Amino acid sequence: MSLQDWLDENKISPHKTTSKEIQNLFKVIDRDIADAGVAGVSADRRFATAYNAALQLATVALLASGYRVTASKGHHFVTISSLQFTMGKTAVPRANYLNVCRQTRNKTDYDRAGVTEEQEVEELLAEVVQFRTDVLTWLKQHHTQFSI
């Protein structure tokens, strides 16, 4: 699979983002990181919120690279998997991990409560905080017009 394959399949489309769009997504990301750290909220909800922050970070990378995901089934998978093409092959382990988290999040949102352990929340939250740093560094190196 490649970005061109996804273009051909209409899973992504060309998109010209703006600094404002990127800044707005970082506001969502920062809110979700903060909310995922709130004690007293269920582990399932904290996990889903941390996952959303990760999804938005992957969205930032895709938008900065000139694409957006079209509204279709599997858009979370495409957004996360696109990291290997936007941020490079070194992002493959992160994309693999986040796709496992996507499946966990799907269970918590659609199937049943009590799926997530506190340890999983802490692990994902730490990953998201590092991912945020990595995206900011990547933007400064590859897309300076969007650096925050």
- Report pLDDT for 86: 97
pTM of the model: 0.96
Residue ranges in the chain modelled with pLDDT below 70: none
Give CA angle at 132 (92, 108), nearest 5°.
75
pLDDT of residue 147: 75
Query: What is the per-residue pLDDT for 72?
Result: 80
The answer to whether residues 34 and 53 touch, using CB atoms and an 8 Å cutoff, is: no
Q: What's 145's DSSP letter?
A: G
Q: What's residue 71's pLDDT? A: 73
pLDDT score for 148: 75
- For 85-126, the pLDDT digits (tens) are 999 999 999 999 999 999 999 999 888 999 999 999 999 999
Provide the pLDDT for residue 123.
Answer: 98
Q: How many CA atoms lie within 13 A of 28 on its CB side?
A: 17
pLDDT attached to residue 120: 96
Q: How far apart are CA 97 and CA 128, in angstroms?
A: 11
With contact defined as beta carbons under 8 Å apart, do 98 and 82 qualify? Answer: no
The class (CATH top level) of 3-146 is mainly alpha
Closest alpha carbon to 46 in 129, 121, 123 = 121
